[in-house]
């Protein structure tokens, strides 16, 4: 991958890149749609992600090229005037990051030439967009000598996605990618950004990602609608409760006060946020105690809640998960990411992985009419100069 991006950079820009870089994708093991509700999440960085070759140019222009979208060619934008432009497609993500860095007083006073290549399945829910964002900030920090730590990178890249792209995402994706650590997941309190690394000991099991291949775009999905519903439920609860976020509530406190919301749909949305946060806390504790079975049961319960209370799964993800539950050697399985397509994450005994992929793949193709893709993944580190 490194040689491929360096070679393409040479071909396009007629010079050597300063360096090659990498930022991972991420998968969230449990804690879905909690990150903007002040709850806990439990993601890990992956060894698949986004590669780049980059160097400065004296022309004051960003020249951006993706080997995944070759037909779009080199996309150019002046560093001094970076604005969202629909025709620039994927390149709006790096443009938004540089614009956000500049807005915060970081000096990016020259142009950059960057070639990207990602081996994250596009629109899969493994955070290809956040991977590009974190990678771009990391590149800029390295090339321009900016005093940017990884937590700051995660905050600034989330802001870029919120304000420049217009997707009202929480901080989980960017944080998990920026702060990734090999063989560890990150137990993150999204309300405070307090975090701890928890070692992932899978005892003869592996993480298997199933990509539904149903394409979805977050910006035009119901993601922002779910966020709005939760904000309205929170506002209703706060009229009588001294809470800042839904993540402040236990299940018992929620049940005693849910009538305050006064709308059955918003009640279900808030119930998911509260219960999922508590599930995540219990799941991390189970892992610390070596109770992988309980961790898997909580993953399964997470999917049921995302299906029934939050209603973000859909036939594709439900087909993958419900068939995964039937397979021998499956510890737990759930949708991961925003939903409405994308991926599932399963913990599967190593000696059953081939059978799992065959059986779930056949059932999915039979019901949905097109194939899912499967990836056995490893947990990796955060961004790096290669």
Task: Name 56's Cβ contacts closer than 8 Å, sequence gap at least 6.
Answer: 18, 110, 111, 112, 113, 143, 144
Residues 333-367 pLDDT 10s: 999 988 888 899 999 999 999 999 999 999 999 99
Residues 243-283 pLDDT 10s: 999 999 999 999 999 999 999 999 999 999 999 999 999 99
Buried/exposed 88-97: b ≥16 CB within 10 Å, e otherwise? bebbbbbbbb
In the structure encoding, which two tokens stand for residue 254, read together?
Answer: 């929620």
Tell me the domain boundaries of the chain. Answer: 2-199
Pairwise CA distance, residues 213 & 235, whole Å: 37
Identify which of 84, 93, 169, 155 has the alpha carbon closest to the alpha carbon of residue 125. Answer: 169
Asked if the model's pLDDT at residue 203 lies above 70, the reply is yes
Residues 146-190 pLDDT 10s: 999 999 999 999 999 999 999 888 899 999 999 999 999 999 999
Pairwise CA distance, residues 99 & 84, whole Å: 10
DSSP state of 351: G
- Which residue among the candidates 88, 173, 248, 309 is catalytic per the annotation? 173
* Whether 194 is catalytic: no
Cβ atoms 272, 30 nearer than 8 A: no
Q: What are phi and psi of 149, to 5 degrees?
A: -90, 170
DSSP reduced 3-state for 41 = strand
Specify the fold of 2-199. Ribosomal Protein S5; domain 2 (3.30.230)
């Amino acid at each position: 991958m490194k040689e491929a991006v360096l070679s393409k950079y040479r071909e396009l820009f007629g010079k050597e890149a300063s360096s090659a870089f990498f930022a991972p994708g991420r998968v969230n093991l449990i804690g879905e749609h909690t990150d903007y509700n002040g709850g806990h999440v439990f993601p890990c960085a992956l060894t698949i992600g986004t590669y780049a070759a980059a160097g400065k140019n004296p022309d004051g222009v960003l020249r951006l090229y993706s080997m995944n979208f070759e037909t779009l060619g080199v996309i150019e934008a002046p560093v001094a005037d970076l604005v969202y432009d629909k025709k620039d497609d994927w390149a709006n993500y790096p443009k938004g990051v540089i614009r956000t860095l500049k807005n915060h007083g970081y000096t990016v006073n020259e142009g950059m030439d960057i070639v990207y290549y990602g081996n994250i399945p596009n629109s899969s829910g493994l955070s290809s967009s956040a991977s590009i964002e974190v990678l771009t900030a990391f590149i800029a920090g390295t090339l321009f000598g900016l005093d940017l730590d990884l937590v700051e990178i995660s905050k600034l890249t989330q802001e870029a996605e919120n304000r420049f792209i217009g997707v009202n995402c929480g901080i989980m994706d960017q944080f998990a990618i920026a702060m990734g650590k090999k063989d560890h997941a990150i137990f993150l309190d999204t309300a405070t950004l307090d975090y701890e690394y928890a070692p992932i000991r899978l005892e003869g099991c592996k993480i298997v990602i199933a990509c539904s291949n149903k394409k979805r775009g977050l910006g035009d999905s119901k993601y922002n609608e779910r966020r709005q519903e939760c904000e309205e439920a929170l506002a209703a609860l706060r009229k009588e409760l001294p809470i800042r976020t839904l993540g402040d509530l236990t299940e018992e406190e929620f049940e005693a006060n849910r009538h305050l919301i006064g709308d059955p749909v918003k009640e279900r949305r808030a119930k998911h946020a509260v219960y999922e946060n508590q599930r995540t806390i219990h799941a991390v504790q189970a892992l610390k105690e070596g109770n992988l079975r309980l961790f898997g049961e909580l993953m399964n319960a997470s999917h049921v809640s995302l299906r029934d209370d939050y209603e973000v799964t859909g036939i594709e993800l439900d087909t993958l998960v419900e068939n995964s539950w039937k397979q021998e050697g499956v510890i737990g399985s759930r949708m991961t990411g925003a939903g409405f397509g994308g991926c599932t994450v399963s913990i599967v005994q190593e000696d059953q992985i081939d059978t799992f992929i065959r059986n779930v793949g056949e059932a999915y193709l039979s019901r949905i009419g097109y194939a899912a893709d499967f990836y056995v993944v490893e947990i990796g580190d955060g961004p790096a100069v290669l």
